[in-house]
Amino acid sequence: MCTICSTILINFGIKHEELDCPLRKSQYCSICAQYGHLTKGCPQKKKRLLFIKDNEITIKEFLSKHNITYKKNYRHLLHNYAQINHMRIVYML
């Protein structure tokens, strides 16, 4: 048993390493949207979330507000903006 689940899954009889831990694999992080760790232990914790409505008008207004010109591919420009500013986009309905 590994150090991750030894205190929680006391009677878990399958020997495994920390990389193969079933408890670790079940942990989900809402910052980087990956399994393997919790939000409090995220290596990308400094990454901010960009909440935006998922419609064309809102995205275009956001880009205009940040002085980003667009003709086409406005969604691609939004992703570039988020990447440069170390943000992750969360689309809202």
Amino acid identity of residue 68, one-letter, is: I
Amino acid identity of residue 54, one-letter, is: D
Which pLDDT does position 80 carry in this prediction?
93
> pLDDT tens digits, the chain, 93 residues: what are they?
788 787 777 777 788 888 888 888 888 887 778 888 888 888 877 667 889 999 999 999 999 999 998 888 899 999 999 988 888 898 988
Which pLDDT does position 46 carry in this prediction?
67
Which H or E run includes 28? strand 28-29
How far is Cα 92 from Cα 70, in angstroms, rounded to an integer?
22
